[in-house]
Chains A and B, each alone.
Chain A
Amino acid sequence: MTFSAKHSLPALALLGLTLGSCQPQLDDNRPAADAGQLNFSSYVAVGNSLTAGYSDGGLYNEVQAVSYPAILAQQFAKTGKGPASFVQPAFSAAKKDGSGYIKLQLVNGVAAPIQPSAANNFLGEQVAYTSNNPLLPNELEAYTGAQPDNLGVPGISVLSADKTASSTGNAVVDATTRGAAAQYGSINNFYQRLLPAADRTTKDYVTYIGQKTPTFFSCWMGSNDVLTYAVAGAVASPTNPFSGLTDTTSFGKGYRNIINAISKNGTVKGVCATIPNVTAIPYFNTVTVTAVAAAFKAANAASPGVFITTGTAAAPVVRLATSADLLTLTAQGVVATGAGSLPNNPIPNQYVLDAAEITTVLNRTNQLNAIIAKTARQNKLALADMFTFFNSVAAQGIVTNAVNNTATFASGNIFSLDGVHPTPRGYAVVANEFIRNINAYYGSNVPTVAPNDYRGVLFP
């Protein structure tokens, strides 16, 4: 560009205004959105609460709308090969708050997470409980819309998803577990609401997802095969066959059946995800032994520390906790009433994940993740390693456009108020990690989202 000298001032001023209004335009050199070999025209998501968009201890429309499958579908659409619509099983507008969700409320001027319940009128939330099914007291309004593409069912595990999975070698146990998986639609209120009444006692989840004919799928199953046990302080419920650690044989069988059902025996492309390290989530790292011990010490200088219950229900062991023991987020409530301060009033077992239990849970997680990785490899599916990803988030947080999101409870913006499930910001970050792995494996170029456009925790 050259300028000839202008001799008169008005001409110069005019030149200035003309050039001054010249807004630079950047060529968007970011690689164009491209589906590559993939066809996203019918994207189906299989999974548990993480896939359903569960957050703050509940499934409700606001966060379901920004579940990671919904974000993925939105980003897939940018390639021009994406789904025209992605159906999620939302609650009706008048019952938009679904199962209700934990809110921060001011208690004596300090924000505290409050669980909705009938006693507190569900915090004014518009919940979807029908309260007219004595067999399933927490029954939710049935979903009656179009066949959903987001098939995430909060609470579901691989073991409970497949009525043929259980293979412990104990015929009685297997029969019970398989039977429960077949009737899972009458046990799990989130699964029940998706099924027609006639299917609720017969159609297991593998059969249910087999009804879909996706062109691309995601499968993030398995967390509840370890998480349910871990969040209960490694105490399995004798009445719930799905409350233990799933054994590797049963898991392998169930997981392969799930992948076969949704991938049409390996003919549909997709992405699998591994089980995150459940001991790295805020649920186990917010109420710490150190902090509780310090509080006891402040109240009573002679306090020797925090007494916990470990061992089995048959042979409980009461001992002083060490920093290697994890307390659950829910331990806050019993600690507030004095539990843990004296040997005759220890913190109950279900609030404690002791060092040995942590090792057990972690070892099993690694074993199950090896099965997931192997199944993905055998079916030529992409793998999103969420175990590694969430370990990294827990260790150093994840920065999104100058915002340092961390795994700290509430203020970290990634994890919601249940300490387990992500916030919308967390789901956006998860969606980006899926996209990164899909692009890397299939050579596609699905654009990522800006996580800051999705909220973290809402503060009062």
Chain B
Amino acid sequence: MTVKTLLLAGGTLLVSASAASASGFQVNLGGQKNIGMGGVGVALTLDQAAMFYNPGALAMVRDNGVQVGVNAALARNAFIPESGGGQSTLDNKLVTPFNFYAGFGPKEGKWKIGIGAYTPFGSELHYNKNWEGRYSLTDINLRSIFAQVTASYAITPQLSIGAGLVMLAYGDVDLQKDVPLTAQTGAPTPHVTLNGKAKQSFGYNAGIYFKPSDKVSVGVSYRSQVDAKIENGDVRLRDVIYSTGGNFTATNFSATLPLPATASVGVAIMPNDKLTISADANLVFWSAYRTLDFTFSGNNGYGDRAATATTPAVVGTPGLLGGSTTSSAKRYYQDALAFRLGGQYKVTEGLTVRAGGFYDMAAVKDGYISPETPDADRIGLTAGASYEFGKRFGIDASFLFEDFLKRSQSQSDLLNNGTTDRVAGTYKTTIAVPGVGLYVKF
């Protein structure tokens, strides 16, 4: 299967994750079984999703198989500004991160190869019309689909390694905000939309899996940073006021968004055939995200003026948005740790149940919270179940509930940090993510 067909498969689904279900705008929804267990997976060989959590473990996954999972993320957000009005919320929208994996190898063989597609980063938020932060952001939709090819090799029956080529196969971003200018005519507030597709780019992941006994396994894995680079994205302008047109001439923009590296370690214990308990720690290298810089170009003619009897024709200065050809917003993210714990229990031959939880630390520092990522430390609780029919087909169900700790920033924090391009107030977010997966083993 080629990347193209993978994309077709992805294209049939709405791909993005809501408000990011891990720190920053990372989405930790790699595999349905793992989701039910608090997102652990580095020391596990549950299914083909191993190639996402730890490519080193893929060789130890017993069966060949194909699996697909879909999640329905429902984010709910509340915001109270420091001064002014009351609580505002999001215009709620369902988004559906997915995952797909296929792994093959000789039965009882030493190696295995796999392909996968998943959505490790994304965010979609639509704030209420006229909310206090509308001049900072009204809407964001950040989407990414990664494709991966993986090979894994068992050096010994206890030790296996693996690596994969990871590709940002598809990425796009849509950022919208209002412009703080008022028209004499009473026309709606001017509105800017930045919409662009990311260039395809590559990274890798690698991992080691070690299972010294039937009762214990450990794993480490690493996923490299991939930059989402947007060139010639579209600047779309609505209701630009004629006399201010000279400051809004841009038609295109470019920007680069780092999708950071992640390092993980995990341990699992299997006290008996039925029970597995696992713990993971992830470190996401968010500190790579320093500033979000835009460069604008093109000329839409809004600044052009025809000649009059007394004045010559004027051609507007190209590449301006809000009077500037560039913009830079401080992000200054910090590396973020997450701790995860989960377990599964095989109730009957067909039925397995799962539960787990995690604590995920914010990538966004105090006083740097921006509406596009109302990040905070968060607690997640998960549950899941699988039912297998005749040892070949199975259905996975998972449920994840994430509770972001309430987070505030004051106008003086923003002034001190030079981050007054965002709003002071208190954010609170919860996300519920039911998910379902299907798999076939052979």
Contact = CB atoms under 8 A, between A and B. Distances in A.
A106 B82 CA distance: 39
B182 A459 contact: yes
Contacts of A460: 183-185, 241-243
A450 B354 CA distance: 48
Nearest to A458: B184
**Which bracket fits the contact residues of B?**
35 or more
B88 to A, nearest CB: 10
A26 B420 contact: no
Contacts of A458: 182-184
Interface string A393-418: 00000010111100000010100000
B135 interface: yes
Q: Which of B243, B382, B385, B428 has the most CB of A within 10 A?
A: B243
A402 B84 contact: no
A104 interface: yes
Interface in B113-157: 132-133, 135-136
Interface in A406-460: 411, 413, 432, 447-450, 452-453, 455-460
Interface stretch (A1-9, A338-346, A348-356, A359-367): A1-9
B360 to A, nearest CB: 16
A110 B434 contact: no
Contacts of A12: 383, 385, 397, 399, 434
B429 to A, nearest CB: 7
Given A16-B399, A401-B81, A1 B306 contact: no
A453 B84 contact: yes
Contacts of A30: 80, 82
Interface stretch (A17-25, A85-93, A132-140, A248-256): A17-25
Contacts of B395: 9
A274 B72 CA distance: 58
B180 A456 contact: yes
A109 B77 contact: no
Interface residues of A, number: 51
B434 to A, nearest CB: 3
A3 B381 contact: yes
Contact of A21 (B74, B84, B428): B74
A300 interface: no
A455 B428 CA distance: 29
Contacts of B132: 401, 450, 452
A173 interface: no
A460 B182 CA distance: 9
A197 interface: no
B411 interface: yes
Residue from A12, A16, A449, A456 having most chain B Cβ neighbours under 10 A: A16
B89 interface: yes
A404 B418 CA distance: 12
Nearest to A455: B182
B420 A3 contact: no
Given A5-B383, A104-B243, A456 B181 contact: yes
A455 B189 CA distance: 11
B422 interface: yes
B86 interface: yes
Contacts of A28: 80, 86-87
Interface string A23-49: 111101110000000000000000000
A16 B434 contact: yes
Given A413-B180, A458-B183, A450 B399 contact: no
A103 interface: yes
B426 interface: yes
Interface in B308-348: 308, 310-311, 314
A364 B242 CA distance: 43
A110 B76 CA distance: 45
A314 to B, nearest CB: 40
B353 A402 contact: no
A140 B243 CA distance: 33
B429 A24 contact: yes
A175 interface: no
A280 to B, nearest CB: 20
B190 to A, nearest CB: 10
B117 to A, nearest CB: 23
A170 interface: no
Nearest to B80: A26
A16 B436 CA distance: 11
A108 B385 contact: no
A79 to B, nearest CB: 15
Nearest to A1: B381
A291 interface: no
Nearest to A17: B434
A402 B85 CA distance: 15
A450 B130 CA distance: 12
A24 B78 contact: yes
Nearest to A2: B381
Contacts of B80: 26, 28, 30
A15 to B, nearest CB: 6
Contacts of A104: 184, 243
Contacts of B180: 403, 413, 452, 456
B440 to A, nearest CB: 18
A401 B384 contact: no
Given A22-B76, A449-B83, A9 B381 contact: no
Interface string B389-431: 0000001010101010010000100110000111110101110
A109 B354 CA distance: 68
A411 B324 CA distance: 14
A231 B282 CA distance: 65
A30 to B, nearest CB: 7
A64 B34 CA distance: 62
Interface string B89-101: 1000000000000
A449 B403 CA distance: 31
Interface string B283-313: 0000000000000000000000110101100
A256 B86 CA distance: 41
A5 B423 contact: no
Interface string B200-218: 0000000000000000000
B46 interface: no
A13 interface: yes
Given A19-B432, A104-B184, A106-B242, A7 B353 contact: yes
Q: Which of A1, A13, A26, A30 lies at the interface centre, i.e. has the most chain B CB atoms within 10 A of its CB?
A: A26
Nearest to B353: A5
B434 A13 contact: yes
A15 B76 contact: no
Interface of A: 1-7, 9, 12-13, 15-17, 19-26, 28-30, 103-104, 106, 108-111, 399, 401-404, 411, 413, 432, 447-450, 452-453, 455-460
18 contacts: A3-B355, A13-B434, A15-B434, A16-B74, A17-B434, A22-B76, A25-B78, A111-B244, A401-B81, A402-B423, A448-B84, A449-B83, A452-B180, A455-B182, A456-B180, A458-B182, A459-B183, A460-B242
Chain A to chain B: the 9 pairs with minimum beta-carbon distance, closest first:
A450-B84, A16-B434, A20-B74, A111-B243, A109-B305, A402-B136, A20-B432, A399-B420, A5-B353
Given A3-B383, A6-B383, 8 more contacts: A1-B403, A15-B434, A24-B429, A401-B81, A450-B83, A456-B181, A458-B183, A459-B183
